[in-house]
């Protein structure tokens, strides 16, 4: 760990809609790698909902956490195809991603809905990772900081989060799955702005909330990104699908 911090960085792997039973071997390999070569980081995998229960069983007693990629705010009900935070927890998840840009963009999820999902996560005892990120048009218009700080303020259930573990992920939409990343200066500027909001909303607690960077993180760029002062971890999509790549990223923390 190259930075002075009391909070261990979080290395989170978002498998998205990838992974059948055989992929549990990748999760086992991640857990084994973390056991033998422990990074100075927390490591978590967010598989598709169909694998959560079996992955949680497969990794029981090990240090790699399992999380959901999304949840619905309600506890239960007539919501065909959806999964509640309680169901994720019941399946063995301890964390959940809310407000990923593929949900905000693909399903029209608003900040208010993301806030309700984060609240549901807390109700179920899950640690939420609340995602924010600007589009390319917004960045080109010079509005990136305004957009992400606005999303953050409107997506956090502040009273419910006081004293609770949670993380924020800054994921520029144009960097997800594209191989493009912002400059290190741009990452740091975004994280600084998000940190300022967190401290304003949560005082001392806000200084310790991990702010993850996400968007085309790979074993080559991870060390530089993780060395930025306000980067408290990474949210990794494509490069989390292979245990060797994901472990190489975790080793940079
Ligand atoms: C993501 O899905 O959150 C992500 C950052 O994807 P990728 O690493 O593939 O850009």
pLDDT digits (tens, 9 = 90+) for 75-121: 999 999 999 999 999 999 999 999 999 999 999 999 999 999 999 99
Residue 55 near ligand 1, beta carbon < 6 Å = no
Work out which ligand 1 atom sits closest to the CA atom of 101: 3
Work out which ligand 1 atom sits closest to the CA atom of 218: 8
Between the CA of residue 222 and those of 118, 129, 216, 235, 249, what are the distances in Å? Answer: 27, 19, 9, 11, 6
What is the reported pTM? 0.96
* Burial class of residue 196 (count of CB atoms within 10 Å of its CB; 0-12, 13-18, 19+): middle
Closest CA relative to residue 120, chosen from 149, 91, 88: 88
Structure tokens at 143: 């509005």
Work out which ligand 1 atom sits closest to the CA atom of 176: 10
The protein residue whose alpha carbon is closest to atom 6 in ligand 1 is 237
> What pLDDT score does 7 carry?
79
What sign does the CA torsion over 156, 110, 140, 228 have?
A: positive
Q: Regarding the domain delimited by 10-250, which CATH topology (the fold level of the hierarchy) does it fall under?
A: TIM Barrel (3.20.20)
Between the CA of residue 137 and those of 134, 153, 176, what are the distances in Å? Answer: 8, 21, 15
Residues 68/48, Cβ–Cβ less than 8 Å:
no
pLDDT by residue (tens digit) across 7-50?
799 999 999 999 999 999 999 999 999 999 888 999 999 999 99
The percent of residues in the chain predicted with pLDDT above 70, rounded, is 98
Residue 4: pLDDT over 70? no
Contacts of 179 (CB under 8 A, 6+ apart): 216
- As a whole number of angstroms, the distance between CA 216 and CA 77 comes to 37
The protein residue whose alpha carbon is closest to atom 1 in ligand 1 is 237
Residue 217 near ligand 1, beta carbon < 6 Å = yes
Confidence label for 1 from pLDDT (cuts 50, 70 and 90): very low
CA atoms within 13 A on the CB side of 61: 1
Active site residue 26: no
Instruction: Tell me the mean pLDDT in the region 177-196.
Output: 98
Instruction: Tell me the mean pLDDT in the region 146-164.
Output: 98
Neighbours of 21 (CB within 10 A): 9
- As a whole number of angstroms, the distance between CA 102 and CA 169 comes to 13
Residue 216 near ligand 1, beta carbon < 6 Å = yes
Mean pLDDT of the chain: 96
Residue 176 near ligand 1, beta carbon < 6 Å = yes
Helices marked H in 96-183: 101-107, 111-123, 136-140, 144-155, 158-161
Task: Give the residue, 5 or 236, on which the prediction is more confident.
Answer: 236
The domain limits of the chain are 10-250
> What pLDDT score does 6 carry?
57
> CA torsion angle for 98, 201, 138, 13 (degrees, to 10)?
-30
Residue 45 near ligand 1, beta carbon < 6 Å = no
- As a whole number of angstroms, the distance between CA 55 and CA 74 comes to 24
CA of 77 from ligand 1 middle (Å) equals 31
> What pLDDT score does 27 carry?
98
Question: Out of 100, 102, 134, 230, which one is annotated catalytic?
Answer: 100
Instruction: Tell me the mean pLDDT in the region 168-189.
Output: 97
Residue owning tokens 């422990």? 38
Residue 240: pLDDT over 80? yes
Residues 14/100, Cβ–Cβ less than 8 Å:
yes
pLDDT by residue (tens digit) across 193-227?
999 999 999 999 999 999 999 999 999 999 999 99
Residue owning tokens 């998205």? 16
Residue owning tokens 């306000």? 230
Residue 185: pLDDT over 90? yes
């Amino acid at each position: 760990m190259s930075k002075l911090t009391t909070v261990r960085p979080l290395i989170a792997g978002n498998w998205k809609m990838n992974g059948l039973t055989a992929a549990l071997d990748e999760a086992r390999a991640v857990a084994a790698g973390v056991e033998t070569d422990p990074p100075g980081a927390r490591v978590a995998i967010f598989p598709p909902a169909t694998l959560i229960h079996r992955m949680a069983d497969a990794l029981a007693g090990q240090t790699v956490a399992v999380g959901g990629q999304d949840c619905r705010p309600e506890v239960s009900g007539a919501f065909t195809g959806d999964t509640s935070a309680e169901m994720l927890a019941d399946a063995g998840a301890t964390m959940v991603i809310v407000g990923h840009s593929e949900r905000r963009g693909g399903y029209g999820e608003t900040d208010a809905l993301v806030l309700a999902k984060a609240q549901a996560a807390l109700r179920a005892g899950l640690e939420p990772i609340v995602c924010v990120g600007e589009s390319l048009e917004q960045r080109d218009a010079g509005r990136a900081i305004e957009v992400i700080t606005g999303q953050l303020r409107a997506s956090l259930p502040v009273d419910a989060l006081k004293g609770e573990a949670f993380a924020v992920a800054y994921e520029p939409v144009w960097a997800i799955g594209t191989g493009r990343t912002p400059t290190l200066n741009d990452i740091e500027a975004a994280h600084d702005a998000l940190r300022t909001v967190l401290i304003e909303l949560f005082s001392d607690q806000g200084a310790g909330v991990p702010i993850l960077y996400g968007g085309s993180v790979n074993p080559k760029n991870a060390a530089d990104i993780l060395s930025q002062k306000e980067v408290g971890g990474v949210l990794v999509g494509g490069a989390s699908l292979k245990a060797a790549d994901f472990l190489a990223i975790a080793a940079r923390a």
